[in-house]
Amino acid sequence: MNVFLLDRKEIKEDVKRMEYFLTICGVLNEYLSDEILPNAVELLGIYGRMCINSFNILNGEMQAIGTGIYLAPSVIDHSCSPNAVATFDGFKLRIRVTQDLPKLDWSFIYISYIDLMNSKNHRKKELKERYYFDCNCPRCGSDEIDCYHYAARCPSCRNPITVRRGDKFPPCSCGSRLDSSFSKQFWSAADFSEQQLLLMQDTNYLDVCKLCLTKQEDLFHDLCLIRSKVLDAAFDSAVQLQLWESAIQYGLPLIHAYKLWYGNEHPLTAILLLKIFKIMLLVSPNDDSAALKYYQEAAKIIELTHGKGSMFYQQDVKSLIRDVK
């Protein structure tokens, strides 16, 4: 029965992809003549390669601005604990390693195909559905990071207490134990927050984020995946609304979450640090000493991930520190 249900699910996904492909064909036929378009079989092959081997073309702040196929980088394998990143200088794609390697061997260089701020099950599901493989990377074989999917904050020492859904909370390393009332509130807040995150996949609503964070208060550790994602949504929404004080309130605890889920040397970690640097200057223009440490850390990461010679580093990153000086 389970195999049958799985097959039906896979068939439904394939039907969706074919419907989307037929929609693309309809749009192309509207704008291009039959003489220009390849035949349906060739077009389907191009579409398949775009689905599997394409890269999102990103600007310096890692925002998608297009899609392209780059033949050589498409052979690089995925890992949820990558040792390299793909960044762009205009339309030129660069693969830059973020860890020391004993020698240059492309078979041991890994990038991430997906967003890393997600649970192990979510990542595996996305990779299976989009790229048709089961991930067996070191991170997926360990709970060192993913144990923080559900992480409570100890009322006594404020350290994280990690737990699996359905299990009882273990005692904290300080010896404190969480009672049934705490557990009930924690899982109620977790269920509510996860439901709201699903509803906010396309648009982040600050009021909803505030409600989730209120329910999580004194229950969730800042490294908890659910709280991290709500803080991320709240930070993004506050920036969009130009609520700078609120953005700092959500952004500062988010730094540690980014370093856990993305890594210390990930470009998204650097972009977050840069944003906080710029916001702090807006809020306290006469005191840049506290903000400078975030700039310095961000610049060091971007030197590694983008390169000192990249357009983004030269025009967007270095100019910020010149403005401050």
> In the chain, which segments carry CATH 3.90.1410.10?
2-114
3: confidence class by pLDDT, cuts 50, 70, 90: very low
Enumerate residues 6+ apart whose C-beta is below 8 A from 137: 78, 79, 80, 81, 110
CATH of the domain spanning 2-114:
3.90.1410.10
User: Domain 146-324 is of which CATH architecture?
Assistant: Alpha Horseshoe (1.25)
Share of the chain above pLDDT 70, in %: 91
Inform me whether the pLDDT recorded for 5 exceeds 80.
no
Inform me whether the pLDDT recorded for 129 exceeds 90.
no
- The lowest-confidence range among 64-68, 85-89, 135-139 is 64-68
322: confidence class by pLDDT, cuts 50, 70, 90: low
Amino acid found at 122: H
Inform me whether the pLDDT recorded for 4 exceeds 50.
no
Q: Which two tokens stand for residue 316?
A: 């967007």
Against a cut of 0.95, is the pTM above it?
no
DSSP 3-state of 69 = strand
> In the chain, which segments carry CATH 1.25.40.10?
146-324
The whole-number pLDDT of residue 7 equals 52
Enumerate residues 6+ apart whose C-beta is below 8 A from 60: 306, 310, 311, 312, 313, 316
Comparing 207 with 28, the larger pLDDT belongs to 207
Task: Assess contact for 152 and 169: CB atoms under 8 A.
Answer: yes
**Strongest mean pLDDT among 3-7, 11-15, 90-94, 275-279:** 275-279
Sign of the CA dihedral running 206, 207, 208, 213: positive
Inform me whether the pLDDT recorded for 70 exceeds 80.
no
The whole-number pLDDT of residue 177 equals 94
Average pLDDT, the chain: 88
64-69/54-58 β-pairing = antiparallel
Q: HSE, CB side, 13 Å, CA atoms: give it for residue 103.
A: 2
Angle at 257 between CA 302 and CA 59, to 5 degrees: 35
- Of 164, 132, 134, the closest CA to residue 148 belongs to 164
Inform me whether the pLDDT recorded for 2 exceeds 50.
no
